[in-house]
Amino acid sequence: MSLIHSRGGSAMPLANERRRVLEALGDEAMTGPAVFRRMRERSIGDATGVGDGVQAGDQAFLYPALHSLEADRRLQATWLPDAGGGSRRAYRRRRPLPSLPCAMRRS
């Protein structure tokens, strides 16, 4: 199943991709390929029996989504060492700021 449902414009697919990325990312740091694998697993789980192949252009919005979420300070990116001696960029969700005591009382 293709992760991109609309190829006409870029705003809508990017917004969808950002939502999927945020849903796929847990508390642990994940590289781009790992995020994509998690998204793919979730997509297959949601639409059982629709197919599981990755098609051309399926990853076109993955990195724009990751980088725009980082620019919006929704994600935090760090370079982590990998097994081959290089480094890989990994993303994790930013922790929300702790609530203020007054806001907690009001809630």
Partner 1 sequence: MTVDLLAIPLSCGFFALVVAAVLLVRRSERRLGRGPGAPSAPRMPGPDGGTDPIAAYLDRMSGELALPAADVAEVRAELAGHLADSIASLEAEGLDRETAIREALGRLGPAVELGRQIRAAHQSTRRLLAGAGGGVFAAGGGFVLGYIGGGFAVAAVAVGIAALMAGLAAAGLHLPDLLQDPHGIGGNSILIGLTTTIAAWAATRYAVRTSASVSHRTPHSVAVVWAAAGGLGFGWWALFGLHGYQSWSTVAAELCIPVAAVAGAFVRIERPLPHSPRWAVVVGLIAFIVVPLVLFAAVGSSGSGSGSGQAASFQASDLHLDTVAPMAPAQWLPDQIMTSGADADGASGATVINAQRISGQSTLPIAPLLSNWRDLRFESWHALPEDEPGPGGIDTHYTSPFAVQPAALNGESLDATFDFGRLRDAGSWWVLLTAVGPDGHRYRLDEFGYGGSSDFSGSAWDWLMAPQ
**DSSP secondary structure string, 10-49?**
SHHHHHHHHHHHHHH--SS-EEHHHHHHHHHHHHHHHSTT
Which of 38, 16, 12 lies closest to 91 in space, CA to CA?
A: 38
Which positions from 16 through 75 interact with partner 1, judged by CB under 8 A?
31-33, 54-61, 63-65, 67-68, 71-72
Nearer to partner 1, 26 or 33 (CB): 33
Q: Which of residues 76-95 bind partner 1 (CB under 8 A)?
A: 79, 82, 84-89
Q: List contacts with partner 1 (CB under 8 A).
A: 10, 14, 31-33, 54-61, 63-65, 67-68, 71-72, 79, 82, 84-89
